[in-house]
Structure formats: structure tokens, C-alpha cells
Amino acid sequence: MNRISFLNKSYPVRELFLDSISLEVTISTSDLNDALMNKDGSYVSESARIIDEEIFFFVERNEIELNDIELIKILEEAI
């Protein structure tokens, strides 16, 4: 599993291919999403905006470690 660093903290990221949209996507955890955003929904910085635009979807910390089939099912149900 790859990781991305933001504000001196490391977050897991995964790449998965979604057949339903014929696209490889990058996902990470909601912890990263929380770190990228202010309480009012704005980005904490320009680098936060750039990172957010690279992430297709955020899942819970325990879900990022699921196998590909289970994780793809969660993503496809959400989109």
C-alpha cells in the first residue's frame, strides 16, 4: 500500500481499477480528507486542494485495508 504525506503525517492510498467506469482511481482515508479541509469546507492550503483533486474517493480507515473485491464493491455502491 502506498502512502501520501500531508502536514507531517502519512496516510494510506490505494489504486484500483473500477470496471463500471473503466478507470483506475486513487482512494485514501477520511482522515486525510479531514486534514485537507477546514471546518467551513474550504481547503487548508493550495497543496491540500491539489491532493484532494488526485483522490477519487475517501473511505474509512478500516476499509482501506479490505481486499480489492470488497473495496471495489464499496466504491461502486457509493458512485
53-70 pLDDT tens trace:
999 999 999 999 999 999
Q: What's the confidence (pLDDT) of residue 61?
A: 94
Q: Considering the entire predicted model, what is its pTM?
A: 0.90
Q: Above 90 in pLDDT, residue 1?
A: no
56 beta partners: none
Q: How far apart are CA 14 and CA 74, in angstroms?
A: 14
Domain borders along the chain are 2-78
24 beta partners: 17
Count of residues for the chain? 79
Q: How far is CA 69 from the centre of its chain?
A: 17
**3-state SS, residue 22:** coil
Q: Residues 37, 30: contact at Cβ < 8 Å?
A: no
